[in-house]
Structure 1
Amino acid sequence: MGKSQKKKSMRRHNPMRVPDSHLPQGLASAAQSSTRNDAILPIIQKMEGADATDRKWACVAVSNLIQNDPSTRRLLQGKNIVGALITRLTDNEEEVVVEAIGALRNLCIDGGYEICAEMYNKNILTPLKTFVPKISSVLSQYLSNPKAAPENAQKLVYGFADNVITVLWCLSETSNKALNTINELHLTPFLMSFLASRDKLPLAPVVSAAQCLYVLTDDNIPAIKEVRADATYLSCLMSIIQPQNTLHTEFMKSDPHAVTLAVLAAGILRNVSPLPPPTAVSQKDLDKDIIFPLLQPIISSSSISQISDLAQELITTQTNEPQIENLSLKHTPKSDHRSTAEVDLEKVETRLRALQLTLEILTSTCATLPDPEFAPTDDDEEVEDEDLDKAEQDDGEMDTDVNEVNGMDADQPPVPAFITALVNPLLALIQPSALSFPPLASPSPHPPTTSALSAIHINALECLNNVFLSLAMSKRPDISEDVVSGQNIWNDVWSALAAVGTQTGPGQERRKEMWDKAVGVLWGIGNVWKGLLEPNEEQVQLLIQFCNSSSDPKVKTQCIGSLECLAQHPQSIVCNRVICEYLLSILPSGSTPASVATEPLVQAVAALIDIYSDENLPYDINFRQGQYLDRLVASVEGVRKAARSVSRQKEGGRELRMRADDVRDNLVAFIKYRRRLAL
C-alpha cells in the first residue's frame, strides 16, 4: 500500500467548535456579517473603565456575544479583545478576573488554534502561572474542611479552576513553543490532584484536568515521565476505568461526563505506556485487556441518528423560545444563564465529544494491534504458539443470529468477530445525518453539533483506515475469503460518501476531508479483498475525478491504489481497461513529464506492474490490444528522472527515493519479462 498510509493519525482535527471558514476574510467583512456591531464599542470602552462593575460586565458580554457567532468573534478579535481580556487577568477585583478567564476560555474553545496562538503571543501564560498555586492552596483547604467556605465560594473556585485548566489544555495543542513553556510549569501533580479527589469535586474541573493531562502526555516526554514516575497516579487512573461494566455498556443512557473521564483516563494510560512494573496493569496487554473492552461498548451503543434527531428537536425548541434577556448596559448579564434547550444541547454536544474522543483513542489502538481478532471475550487464558491457528479459527466462529444480522446464509462462511465487534459499529458512525454537513446556502442551525458530528465521521474513517491497513499487512485468509463482508463494507463506505456529496467551497472543508479519509479506507479494503470486489463504473469514474481534482500527492496515491485493487477483478475487463488507460495517461512519455508528483507516479507504475504480472488473467487482453508495453517502455526514462528528483533531505524523502528506485528497476525487469513472452 506504499508509504502514504500512516498507521497513526493526527489526533486532533481542526478544534474550532464554531467554524468560520465560510465567512469572508477581513475586519470589514466581519463587521458586515455581524449583527452586533453596536455592542462592540461599549464593550471595548467598559473593559478598561474605572468601575469594576463595568469591567465585569464587559467580560461577561464577550462570552455572550461570541456564542455560536463566528463573525462577532472575528470582529472582537480585530479590536484586540484577547489583549484586553489578558490585561483583566491582573485586575484588582477577583470577580473581573473570574469573568475574564471565562471569556478567554470560551474564545479558546470556539476559536481554535488561531486565537490560542494569539493568546500565547500576548503572554497569557504569565498570569496563568500565578493561578495554579493559588487554586491548589484553596482546593486543599476546601477538601480538608468542606464547611470552611460557603457553597457559592466553592462553586466560584471550581469554575475558575475549570476555566484556567481548559485554557492551559488548549494552549498545549497550539504549538511546540507553548507546550515547552507549559512543561516548565510541571502541571502533573496539580492535574492529578483533581482526578484523585474526583469523588469530592464537581465533575467539570475533573474532566478538564483529565483532558489537559491527556493532551500533555501525547508524545510529550516530560509529562509522560512525570506520570510514569508515581505509582499512585497510575493506580488512580486505573481506578477511574474499573467500573466500566456498569458505566459504559450503554453509552446512550450513561452520564457523558463520566464516560468522558473514563475514556480520558484510558487515553492517558495509553499515552504513558508501557507502564512500569510492578503495577497490576503492566502485566496485561493494555490495548486488548483494558482499552478495547472500555471503548468498544461506547461505539457499539452509539446512535448518530438518535443523537441527531434529539439535537434537531432541541434546536427547534430553542428557536421558538422567547429571548429572556437581551444585552443591556443597565443590567449585568449572567454568563451562566441558559435556557433548558441550551443546557440540553450542551449535553448532546458533550455526548458527541465523548464519542469523538473514544474514536481518537481507538484509532491509535487499532494502529498497533498485531492481531485484528480482538472481539470482547471472557476468556483470559493465554494461548500457546502451537494452538494459535486453532484459537484464531475458533474465535472467528459466529452464531447463526450474528450471521443473519449481517445478511448471510447459514451455508456461507461465518463473519469474523472483529467485523461485528468493531468494523460494523464504525461503519454506522461514518453515515452522515442531516446536521453533519449542511449546505453552504443553509448554514448549520447549531454549529457546535455540526462540528462534533463531522469530526466523529472523520475519526471513524481514520479508525477504519488503521483497521484495514493492519489487516492488509497481516494477510489473514479467513478474512479475505469472506467476500460478502468485504463487498458490504465497501458499499457502506460509498453510501456514506454519497450522502456527504461533492459540494466544494468555503465552509465545506469537512466534506473534502471526509473524501480524503474515505479514499484511504477504500484502499485498505481493496487490499484486503484485492481482485475480489467487482468494480462499479460510476465509482471508478468518481475515483478518477477525485484523483484529478486533489492537490495532495498522498490522496492521489490512495486513489491510484484503490483503482489498482479494483482493476484486478478478473472478469471486469472493461473497468480494467478504463482504470489502466487512466494510469498510463499520467505516466511520462518521451520529453513529456508525468502529470502527477513522484509519489502518485510511483504508485501508478507499481500498480500497472502488479495488475499485469499474470498474463493468464482474462483482462490481460487489454495489455496486448492496447499496446501497453510500448507505452511503459516510453515512460522508463521519465520515471528515472522523477526518482532522481526526490530530495533525501525532505521529510519522507529517503523512503520515497528508495521506493522510486525500486519501482523503476521493477519496471525495467517487467518490460523484459513481457517481451520474452512475445504475446
Structure 2
Amino acid sequence: MGKSQKKRSMRRHNPMRVPDSHLPKGLESAASSSPKNEAVLPIIQKLQSPDAAERKWACVAVSNLIQNDPSTRRLLQGKNVVGALITRLSDSEEEVWIEAAGALRNLCIDGGYDICAEMYNKNILAPLKTFVPKISTALSQFLESPKTAPENAQQVVYEFTENVNTILWCLSETSNKALNAINQINLVPFLMSFLAARAKLPIATVTAAAQCLYVLTDDNQPAIDELRSSAAYSTCLLEIVRSEDTAKGKDKEVIGDRLTTLKVLTTGILSNVSPLPPTSGASGVDVGKEIVLPLLQPVVTSVSLIESSALAESLVAKLALEPPQLENLSLKGTPKSDHRSDTEVELERLENKLRTIQLALEILTGACATLPDPISEPQEGELDAEEDDEDNDAQLEEDVTDDMALDDVPLTNGATTTRHLPALVEPLITLIQPVRLSFPPAAGQSSHPPTTSVLSAIHVSALECLNNVFLSLSASPTAELSAASASGKQVWDSVWATLGSVGTEIARGQERKQEMWEIGVGVLWGVGNIWKGNLVPNEEQVQLLIQLCNSSSDPTVRVKCIGTLECLAQHPQSIDANRVIAMHLLSILPTTTASSTYGTEPLIQALSALIDIYSDENLPYDVNFRQGNFVQRLVDSVEGVRKAVRAIDRRKERDLKLRGEEMRDNLVAFIKYRKALRF
C-alpha cells in the first residue's frame, strides 16, 4: 500500500481555494458564466492608465472581482491580468505596486497551481527579488527606531510583506523549477527574522513568513541545510512551539487562533528539519514524540466540522443580504484590497481555523510514516539469508517490493512509535466523515467555495493520515493489536460509511470525491492487512472494489483494490466471496494468447495475492482452488508473466523489476508445490 508521499512535480499543500474545474474550458464559457463580464475590460484598460489613481483602483478591483468567482478569475486570466499586475509591481507609484502585490497574492491563493505557474513563467520573481532587501531594511528600521515612521506607514509595509511572502510560498509549491529559482534568493535568514521579532510584529505578517518557511523546508535540502546551520534558528522555533498563549483584550480569540496557526506551522518546520543539529543544544529533542503529537492532536480535535459547516451556511445567508463590494468601487473612494464586511471577516476566520486543522493533519501524516529510500540497498547478507529459506519466499517478495506494497516497512523517523498511533484513529475517523458543505453540488459550485475546498481537504488529509497510521501499525504488528478485531471492524465500517456518503456518482468539479475513494481504499487495505482473516467480506463491498479496480486507469489504485480484496478473500468461512475475488484476480493475469490489460504492477500484486490466499491448502476456501482448476490457469499465465517482467526497465523501475523477478520465480515454485499435493 502506498504511503501518502509528496509528489515533487507539484508541491501544493493546499487545494485550490476557489475551484473552477466545474466550468467548461475556454474563454467564451468563462465570459458567459461570469456575472461581472462587463467590468473586466475597463479594469484591464485602467491597469495601463497614465493616471496612478486609476492604476491603483484597477489593482484593487481585481481583488474584489475574483472573490469566490472562478469564472471571472478565469476571464481576467485570459485577458492577461497576471502579466499586467506583474508589470505594476515595478510601477513608479508606491501605492500601485503595493495594491498589485495584494491582487497577485489573492490570485495565488484562490487560483492555485495554474496561476502560480503563469506568474513564474512571466518572471514575477524579478520584481519580488528587489522587494526582499527593501523589506529587510524597513523592518530593521522599525524595530530599532519605531518612531521613525508613523504607525499607519508601518502597517502598510507589514501588509505588503505578508503579500510578498504569501506569493513566494505559493510559487515554492508550483514546481521544482520555481523552487530552485527561489532557493537562489536565500530566503531563510529573511523569513527567520520575522519569527525572531514576532513579539514586535503583527501576527499575520509573522504567520505568512512561517508558512513560506514551512513550504521551503519541505523536502528541499538547501533550505533545510540553511535552517539547520544556525543554533539560534532552532532555539527560536522551539520557543514558539513551547510558548504560552498570552492573547488578551477583545481580539483574544482571533489572535489565539492565529497563534495556534503559527505554532502548527512552526511544528511543521521542525518536523521538516528534524533531527535538530547537535550544535543547537536541542539535538536531544524527539520532535515527533515531544512536539508533533502533543501539539497537533488537540488541534485536530478542536473543531466540529458539522458545526463549522452550519456556521458557514448561516454566514453565507447573511452575506447574501449585504450589498456587493463591487458596487462600492469608485475612483473617488478607493477601498483597500482587504476591505471586507464583518460577515466576510467571520467567514475568513472560520476558513482559517479549518485550514489550520488541515495543516496539522498534513504534518501528522508525515510523522506517522515515512517512505524508505527507494534506491537503498539491502544490508549485506540480508537478501541471501532470506533466499536460503524457502519458507520466506513470500516475505522476500514483499521486502523487495516497490512503494505500493502494503508490507513495505516504513522507516520510523523517530517521530512516532506505534503505541502512540491508535490514539489518533478516533479523531481521524471523525474528520473523514462528510458534512453538508463538504463537496460542491453535481451542477455548479458550492454556496461558499473556500469552506467547501477546505472541508474536502480535511477529509482527504485525515484519510491520508489514517492510511499512514495503519501502514505503520501493520509494519509493526503486536499480539494485542491483532486481538482487537472488534476495533478493526469498527474502523472498517466507519471508512465504508464515509465512502458510502461520498457516493459513486462523481460529476465534473467533484474530483475530491474520487480522491476520497482512491485514498480510502488504501486505508481499507491497511486495516485489512492487520486483521486479515477476521473481516467478513460483504458482497456489495467486494463488487465496489472490483468495479473500482476495473474502472481506474491508475495502477496505484488498482494495486490497493487488489490488496484489499486479498485480505477479504482470506476469511476462512467465506467460500463464495473467496471464489468471486479469486476469479477477479485470475482475470488480471495474462493467458497463453493475450497479455494482461491491467498493467504490470497490478499483475504482480494479483499474483502475490493468489499465492498468499492459497498458500494453505487446509483452509475451507481452498476448495475453490481445486474445483476451479486454478493451477492450470496459473500455468497458462507463466509465459505472459515472464514477458511482462522482462519488459520492466531496470534503470527506471529497479524496485518493480526486483519484485517482478521474485514473483515470477515464486509463481513457478507455487505451481510445482500445488501440483505435488495429493488429495
Q: What TM-score do the two structures reach when normalised by structure 2?
A: 0.89
Once the two structures are superposed, what CA deviation does each residue of 1:517-574 show, in whole Å capped at 9, x if it has no partner?
A: 1111111111111111111111111101111110000110000000000000011111
The CA distance in 1 between the partners of 2:146 and 2:432, in whole Å, is: 46
Conserved? CA contact 1:9–1:364, under 8 Å: no
Q: Deviations over 1:278-322 (max 9, x none)?
A: 434311322112211111111233321122222122112112334
Q: Which amino acid aligns with 2:639?
A: E
Q: 1:130 to 1:13 in 2, by over 3 A?
A: closer
Task: Indicate if the aligned counterparts of 1:588 and 1:638 stay in contact, CA closer than 8 A.
Answer: yes
Structure 2 residues without counterparts, runs of 5 or longer:
373-417
Contact 2:245 2:256 in 1 (8 A): no
Show the counterpart of 1:190.
190
* CA–CA separation in structure 2 for the residues paired with 1:253 and 1:183: 33
**Kept after mapping to 2: 8 A contact 1:8/1:363:** no
Distance 1:639 1:501, change over 3 A: same
CA deviations on 1:363-412 (whole Å, 9 max, x unpaired) are 11001499xxxxxxxxxxxxxxxxxxxxxxxxxxxxxxxxxxxxxxxxxx
8 A contact 1:435–1:444 mirrored in 2: yes
SS in 2 for 1:502: coil
* Cα deviation code 1:116-161 (max 9, x no counterpart): 1111111111111111111111111111222322221111111000
Instruction: Tell me if the contact between 1:252 and 1:302 (Cα under 8 Å) persists in the aligned partners.
Output: no
Q: How far apart, CA to CA, are the structure 2 residues paired with 1:61 and 1:135?
A: 25
- 1:341 corresponds to: 343
Q: How far 1:7 moved relative to its partner?
A: 5.8
User: Within the alignment, does 1:6 sit opposite 2:8 as a pair?
Assistant: no
Cα deviation, residue 91, structure 1: 0.8
* 1:418 Cα offset (Å): 4.3
Distance 1:172 1:26, change over 3 A: same
Any idea what the Cα deviations from partners look like across 1:235-289, whole Å, max 9, x if unmatched?
Answer: 1100000036999xxx999832111110111111121122111434311322112
Question: Is it true that 1:320 corresponds to 2:317 in the alignment?
Answer: no
Alpha-carbon contact 1:486-1:525 (below 8 Å) kept? yes
Q: Which amino acid aligns with 2:17?
A: R
Could you say if the C-alpha distance between residues 639 and 519 of structure 1 is closer, same or farther in structure 2, counting changes exceeding 3 Å? same
Per the normalisation by structure 1, the TM-score is 0.89
**Paired residue type of 1:289:** E
Partner residue in 2 for 1:229: 229
Hey, what's the Cα distance between the residues in 2 that align with 1:539 and 1:556? 15
Q: What is the aligned-residue identity percentage?
A: 64
User: Which has the larger displacement, 319-328 or 609-618?
Assistant: 319-328
Task: Tell me how far 1:505 sits from its aligned partner.
Answer: 3.3
Decide which moves more: 154-163 or 437-446.
437-446
Q: Taking structure 1 as reference, are residues 585 and 460 closer, same or farther at Cα in structure 2, changes over 3 Å only?
A: same
**Kept in 2: contact 1:9–1:363 (CA 8 A):** no
Tell me, what secondary structure is at the counterpart of 1:595? Answer: coil
- 2:68 is aligned with what amino acid? N
When residues 512 and 627 of structure 1 are mapped into structure 2, their CA distance, relative to the original with a 3 A threshold, is same
- The residue that corresponds to 1:161 in the other structure is 161
Q: Measure, in 2, the Cα distance between the counterparts of 1:128 and 1:254.
A: 29
Partner of 1:387: none
**CA distance in 1 between partners of 2:170 and 2:164 (Å):** 10
| 1:317-466 pair list within 5 angstroms | 317-323=318-324, 326=327, 328-331=329-332, 332-368=334-370, 418=420, 421-466=423-468
Pick closer, same or farther for the CA change 1:268–1:14 going to 2, 3 Å.
closer
Tell whether 2:316 aligns with 1:310. no
Q: Distance in 1 between matches of 2:197 and 2:331?
A: 41
Higher relative contact order (CA 8 A, sep 6+): 2
Residue of structure 2 equivalent to 1:38 = 38
Q: Please state whether the residue corresponding to 2:299 is helix, strand or coil.
A: helix
Instruction: Give 1:45-64 correspondences, 5 Å limit.
Output: 45-64=45-64
Q: 2:637 matched to which residue of 1?
A: 635
Contact 1:8 1:367 (8 Å CA) reproduced: no
Q: Render the CA deviation track for 1:320-371: whole Å, top value 9, x for unaligned.
A: 334366154554343222111110110011011101110111011001499x
Gaps of 5+ in 1: 371-415
Relative distance call for 1:604 and 1:111 in structure 2 (3 A) is same
Counterparts in 2 of 1:303 and 1:281: CA distance versus 1, 3 Å? farther
- Partner residue in 2 for 1:301: 302
Letter matched to residue 76 of structure 1: L
Is the Cα–Cα contact under 8 Å of residues 27 and 78 in structure 2 kept in the other structure?
A: yes
Aligned-residue RMSD, C-alpha: 2.0
CA distance in structure 2 between the aligned counterparts of 1:573 and 1:255, rounded to whole angstroms: 57
Q: Distance in 2 between matches of 1:523 and 1:104?
A: 43
CA distance in 1, matches of 2:58, 2:530: 59
8 Å Cα contact 1:142-1:154 kept in structure 2: yes
Q: Per the alignment, do residues 592 and 14 of structure 1 end up closer, same or farther by CA in structure 2, a change over 3 Å counting?
A: farther
Distance in 2 of aligned mates of 1:608 and 1:253:
56
Q: Work out the number of aligned pairs and report it.
A: 626
Paired residue secondary structure (1:50): coil
Question: Per-residue deviation at 1:46?
Answer: 0.9
Equivalent residue for 1:598? 600
